[in-house]
Amino acid sequence: MKLFFKGKWFEGTNPIAVCNPFDGSVVDEVPTATAEQVQEAIEGATQGAQQMRSVSGYDRSLFLRKAANLMLDRIEDLAETISLEEGKTLKESRAETMRAVATMELCAEEAKRIAGEVLPLDGASGTAGKMGWTIKVPCGVVAAITPFNYPLNLVCHKVGPALAAGNSVIIKPASDTPLTSLKLVEILLEAGCPPFGVACLTGGGATVGTALCQDPRIRKISFTGSQTVGESICRMAGMKRVTMELGSNSPLVVLPDADLEKVVSAIAFAGFANAGQVCISAQRVIVDAAIHDDLIKLLPDRISAMRAGNQMEKETDVGPMVRESDAQRVSQWIDEAVASGAQLICGGQRHKAVIQPAVLTGVTRDMKIAKEELFGPAVGILKSTNIESAIEEANHSPYGLSAAIFTQDIDAAMKFAHRVESGNIHINWGPLWRTDMMPYGGLKQSGLGKEGPRYAMEEMMESKAIVIHSDF
């Protein structure tokens, strides 16, 4: 596939092979954008930002709605592309595509709802005869730097709000998963998006990402990825708006009155969806000592029954990790935990990039698997003694993106909700849950700003105050 900017498709240099994580076979190739092409793309997007300002909210809504419909028509092609380049199962990829459709539909609706407010100037001294209001205007060119793990929906969460708000947008997709982004561009163009309104540049972060972050013509950066890269982007960004959706180490707390069958189901989903490569995966399960052994008895049979392997086979529950090197790292962390006293009660076997879902007990907070972001198919079980110790354990992390608790005690649930330092709190389900309309973002080192179409659009627009001074 080719690069897209300035309304045209271009060849690049140094082709990048996009490979199937399961067997390493080449799915396709994409070019590496040159430094000169990046500058041309920014120039084109700057022109596109001016063009987008003249497109009405109604017309932006029309092409975003049409794009959603085209995505729905092509669900199997998009799902297959996601699975081939990212490694998630076809079932998971279809679910992601449907979520992406919903995201674009939400953006289409929000494009029609942009409005300022009347300013109550009469409530201030010396304002007789004055009338004021605000309007919201697009910020300009948005850089969307996207991750590999949701190569369609998380791209839509940046591109859709940017276009709905009347901006132009440059997509810099993850090098592992660029094909889905390029197909999204094709769909947007077919749907009627102004050609200069969208661009897609493939290549490494050193050339493409750095140039986008440093260029003053870029007015907004929306990034999803690691904390380390996010901090680097913030240092480069200067006087730009930034949204940072960074790492996590999500806790799932289980109190004595929890429904353990429901807990097991939540762990199976929240711990191992997309081979654990989700920033809000359940990584730490903090279980009250009173029911710890009961839960441990239930987990192995359920988790061991999950089939890991070729993501293109419908019987597969857990596909490969995106890179074999990542699978090697997860195996190393598991081995380190066991060497430090943890017990591997199921899973953990690795074949190339595939790891059988793993559960470890006897995990302590000082183990790497408990204190850093694993981003892989393993869950660590820790003990607590009451709601207070569970909250303290949940907060023992530099991250704060999503947290969950299982209990029938409303007082305990509300104490957890108010005191746990996390941007998203879930009661009686796991931390891996998100509907695309909700405000989504983290606290502490998990990031800055919020996603969700309405909330993202707010951060992609600027307010202007207008005052009429009259003598009446």
- From 3, 108, 121, select the one nearest 56 (Cα to Cα): 108
Tokens encoding 339: 């060497």
Contact 275, 376 (CB under 8 A): yes
**Alpha helix stretches (DSSP H) within 227-323:** 227-237, 260-272, 292-304
Q: Is 107 a catalytic residue?
A: no
Q: Are strands 447-448 and 402-406 parallel, antiparallel or unpaired?
A: unpaired
Q: In degrees, to the nearest 5, what angle opens at C-alpha 109 toward C-alphas 108 and 114?
A: 105
Can you give the length of the chain in residues? Answer: 472
| Catalytically annotated residue among 40, 86, 110, 245 | 245
Contact 191, 66 (CB under 8 A): yes
Q: Is 245 a catalytic residue?
A: yes
Residues 88 and 377: their CA atoms lie apart, in Å, by: 12
| 3-class secondary structure, 221 | strand
Residues 105 and 18: their CA atoms lie apart, in Å, by: 29
Task: Fill in the DSSP letter of residue 308.
Answer: B
Tokens encoding 418: 């108010």
Q: 395-410: buried (b, 16+ CB within 10 Å) or exposed (e) per residue?
A: ebbebbbbbbbbbeee
Around Cβ 349, how many Cβ atoms within 10 Å?
Answer: 13
Tokens encoding 188: 């947007």
Residues 377 and 282: their CA atoms lie apart, in Å, by: 10
Residues 397 and 331: their CA atoms lie apart, in Å, by: 22
Residues 422 and 206: their CA atoms lie apart, in Å, by: 31
Around Cβ 216, how many Cβ atoms within 10 Å?
Answer: 9
Residues 205 and 376: their CA atoms lie apart, in Å, by: 23
| Catalytically annotated residue among 279, 346, 451, 458 | 279
Residues 225 and 241: their CA atoms lie apart, in Å, by: 17
Tokens encoding 392: 């303290």
The catalytic site residues sit at 245, 279
